Structure formats: C-alpha cells, structure tokens
Amino acid sequence: MELQLAMVLLEVRDLDASIAFYRRLGLDIPDPAGERPIVIHRMGSGVSLLITTQFASAYDPAFERPAGGYQQLLEFYVGEDALVDAKWTDLTSAGYHGRLAPTQTAGPYAAMVDDPDGNVILLTSDEAAAPGD
C-alpha cells in the first residue's frame, strides 16, 4: 500500500475564528458537534482538514505553540491567477494578515495570507496542486 496523507490537523487557539477564516477561504467547514472543540472537513482530494483546540495539548505533555514565525504552509489550489487575486483581496480586506501579495514566483502564481493562528496559507493557481480526477 502506498503511504497517503490522510489529514492535516491544526491545533488552534480560537475555534470560531478559525472556522470563520476557513469558510471565508472557501471550505465548507461544518459547525462543531455538541461541546466537542473539533471540526473536520474532507476535501475532494480525500485529505481531511481537522481543526481543534484540544488534541496535541491534551495528548502530548510536551506540546508548545511556536513562539514566532511559521513552520509550514498549507497550499490551496484556487484555480486561475484571477482567483488567487480575488481570494487574496477578499481575505486581506477582511483583516487577515497578507504575507505575500499575488505574484508570479519561480514556480506558481501565488499569494500568502495568515490564518488566525499564524499558519501560512499559500493560495496558488499551480496545476500541480489541482485535485486529480
């Protein structure tokens, strides 16, 4: 069996703020079920995005939030260049921190914006990131 990326888990400070961000990004994030501080969205690619406030902190006694900077980027394929521009404008106009305005990089046309916890979201029109059929 080939190893597959099944889920990306984000340990966040404010679940509601994160849900609002990822919905604005364009994901159909559900409401949390009951009192559980967790939501899961399965994307067409098969990878799930799990957002929670209490997984790593509950099960890893050595868990510490990064003090600064970022350690990863989450790339979201949004389609053509104009859609990268539109999503960047929508998110930064809503007050989210823009890290890199839309530009042609050495690779894809891309932009970067921070989610509420400082996770860097890479918006691209890179066909290599498009979900397969």
Kindly state whether residue 49 falls inside one of the protein's structural domains.
yes
Please state the pTM of the whole predicted model.
0.86
Q: Starting from the edge strand earliest in sequence, which strands make up the sheet with 38-42, in order?
A: 7-11, 48-52, 38-42
- Looking from the CA of 18 toward its CB, the CA atoms found within 13 Å total 25
Q: What is the pLDDT of residue 70?
A: 82
For residue 62, tell me if it sits in a domain: yes
User: Which DSSP letter does residue 114 get?
Assistant: E
Q: Say what the pLDDT of residue 133 is.
A: 55
Residue 2 included in any domain:
no
Burial tier of 34 (Cβ tally within 10 Å: 0-12, 13-18, 19+): exposed
Assigned domain for 76 exists: yes
Q: What is the pLDDT of residue 35?
A: 85
Q: What is the pLDDT of residue 128?
A: 73
Whose tokens are 């404010």? That residue is: 14
| Residue ranges making up the domain that contains 108 | 7-129
For residue 111, the model assigns a pLDDT of 96
Phi, psi of 101 (to 5 degrees): -65, 155
Residue 1 maps to a domain = no
DSSP sequence for 89-107? HHHHHTTPPEEEEEEE-SS
Residues lower than pLDDT 50 in the chain: none
Number of domains in the chain: 1
* Residues pairing with 10 in the sheet: 51
Q: Residue 23's domain is classified under what CATH number?
A: 3.10.180.10
Which residues does 128 contact at the CB level (< 8 Å), separation at least 6? 108
Q: Is residue 70 part of a domain?
A: yes
